[in-house]
Amino acid sequence: MSIISDTLKRIKPSPTIAVTQKARELRAAGKDVIGLGAGEPDFDTPENIKRAAIKAIRGGDTKYTAVDGTPALKKAIIKKFKRENNLNYKIDQITVGTGGKQVLYNTFMATLNKGDEVIIPAPFWVSYPDMVLLAGGKPKIIKCEEKDGFKLTPAKLKKSISKKTKWLILNSPSNPTGAGYTKREIDALAKILIKKKKVNILSDDIYEHIRYDNFKFFTIAQISNLKKRTLTMNGVSKSYAMTGWRIGYAAGPKEIIKAIGKIQSQSTSNPSSVSQAAAVEALNGKQNFIKKRSNAFKLRRDFVVNSLNSIKGINCLKPNGAFYVFPSCKGLLNKKTKLKTDTDFVKKLLEKSNVAVVQGSAFGLDGYFRISYATSMQNLKKAMQRIKTFCANLG
């Protein structure tokens, strides 16, 4: 009899983490590998945020805090939602976790019963389905087509809702595609959701500030009829280059926030006190660097998209935000190249050209691959040349 639980057997390790680890191992073995798999800004945490952490350490702010976040951080989060999203929350409607991932996991553990369905538009962030499975729920994957910008349409949403539907996940801008929902598109989805009163919405806004071409961010909780059924998750990892600090947060109905806190009290307890102090400064301090860094990401995005679209057999949409592109490699999957799947493509690319990317099937949509351009332009130029040469020599 295996000591490993049946629940754990239903899930798999994160493919994006696996690719990043593989790239590290190959580099350690002396290979000149360019890793384009990690969803992590290459910029450093801003100095004012670092200083706030150092001040907290020197001031003895190194003890346990309230399980779901300090009052100071919750107040900063409330200010953020009011300032940037025109949303009003009270302190008992805010929770803080050890990264946005924990907030999402806690949410599903606190709310899902066996058989409850969670609608997940694909392509999706790799962890959504597995977290739902761990909580005893059932992921309901809805494939969103390239012609629709990889976004969920009202028709597909309406068709996917059943009596068992408990949550809909919306991620905008998206990982892995960078696609952002406009206000008009969210309004169209909202018309259906307003009628389906038992469906809750989990809005993953972690890439809110990384957006381009005057794309205007709009989150579904701003629709008053849906705010009471929406949990809005965000964090400091992407916008503030604080991935290692592990701070995520959410705002939503008191009942759900309280339940999340109950789960957290029996798992990790409070997030790091020092990281919370740093996050207060991140949210309350100067914000001007965010736009500057987004402009740098935009230059990289434009270079990568143009480079990929110049390669025969590859097609790549230009995303609204985040720091990913999700190009199609379907034109290269044929008898001539001897590549049958996107997994074949990314494996061969790593083997022959030392470029690590992630297969689209890991995100729920076959025939694509994800590139993270959260790395230097120097690395991107080398990687694009390697991909171009690799594709030209196929077959």
Question: What is the DSSP code string of 207-272?
Answer: TTT-B-TTPPP--GGGSHHHHTTEEEEEESTTTTT-GGG--EEEE--HHHHHHHHHHHHTTT-SPP
Give tens-digit pLDDT for 118-174.
Answer: 999 999 999 999 999 999 999 999 999 999 999 999 999 999 999 999 999 999 999
Compute the distance between CA of residue 40 and CA of residue 375 in angstroms, rounded to an integer.
9
So what's the pLDDT on residue 219?
98
So what's the pLDDT on residue 222?
98
The burial of 383, by beta-carbon neighbours within 10 Å (0-12 exposed, 13-18 middle, 19 or more buried), is given as: buried
The burial of 14, by beta-carbon neighbours within 10 Å (0-12 exposed, 13-18 middle, 19 or more buried), is given as: middle
Compute the distance between CA of residue 297 and CA of residue 209 in angstroms, rounded to an integer.
12
Compute the distance between CA of residue 83 and CA of residue 77 in angstroms, rounded to an integer.
10
pTM value?
A: 0.96
Q: What is the arithmetic mean of pLDDT over 218-243? A: 98
Give tens-digit pLDDT for 260-316.
Answer: 999 999 999 999 999 999 999 999 999 999 999 999 999 999 999 999 999 999 999
Residue 367, H or E segment: none
Strands 138-143 and 117-122: parallel
Q: What is the arithmetic mean of pLDDT over 205-229? A: 97
So what's the pLDDT on residue 267?
96
Residue among 328, 390, 327, 383 nearest 356 (CA): 383
Give tens-digit pLDDT for 370-384.
Answer: 999 999 999 999 999
| Beta strands in the chain, from DSSP E residues, in sequence order | 34-35, 94-97, 117-122, 138-143, 165-171, 200-204, 230-235, 248-251, 324-325, 355-356, 358-359, 369-372
So what's the pLDDT on residue 14?
78
The residue count for the chain: 395
Q: What is the arithmetic mean of pLDDT over 339-343? A: 95
Percent of the chain with pLDDT over 90: 91
Amino acid at 165: T
So what's the pLDDT on residue 88?
98
Residue among 110, 161, 150, 120 nearest 322 (CA): 150
Q: What is the arithmetic mean of pLDDT over 338-366? A: 94
User: Within a 10 A sphere around the Cβ of 110, how many other Cβ atoms?
Assistant: 18
Residue among 92, 42, 15, 382 nearest 260 (CA): 92
Enumerate the domain spans of the chain: 6-44+289-392, 60-284
pLDDT band at 331 (very low <50, low <70, confident <90, very high): very high
Q: What is the arithmetic mean of pLDDT over 99-105? A: 98
Is 80 exceeded by the pLDDT of residue 28? yes
So what's the pLDDT on residue 133?
96
Residue 297: half-sphere exposure toward Cβ, Cα within 13 Å: 32
Strands 165-171 and 138-143: unpaired
CATH number belonging to the domain at 60-284, selected among 3.40.640.10, 3.40.50.150, 3.10.20.590, 3.40.50.620: 3.40.640.10
So what's the pLDDT on residue 321?
98
Phi, psi of 179, deg, nearest 5: -70, 135
Mean pLDDT of the chain: 96
So what's the pLDDT on residue 395?
72
Helix axes 254-265, 100-111, angle to 10 degrees: 100
So what's the pLDDT on residue 6?
85
| Assigned CATH class of 6-44+289-392 | alpha beta
So what's the pLDDT on residue 288?
96
Give tens-digit pLDDT for 238-276.
Answer: 999 999 999 999 999 999 999 999 999 999 999 999 999
Is 80 exceeded by the pLDDT of residue 16? no
Written as six digits, the tokens of 18 are: 């696996």
Report the range of poorest mean pLDDT among 35-39, 206-210, 217-221, 261-265.
Answer: 35-39
So what's the pLDDT on residue 9?
80
Percent of the chain with pLDDT over 70: 100
Angle subtended at Cα 343 by Cα 337 and Cα 345, rounded to the nearest 5 degrees: 35
DSSP state of 46: P
Q: Please spell the DSSP secondary structure of 80-92, one letter per residue.
A: HHHHHH-----GG
Q: What is the arithmetic mean of pLDDT over 355-366? A: 96
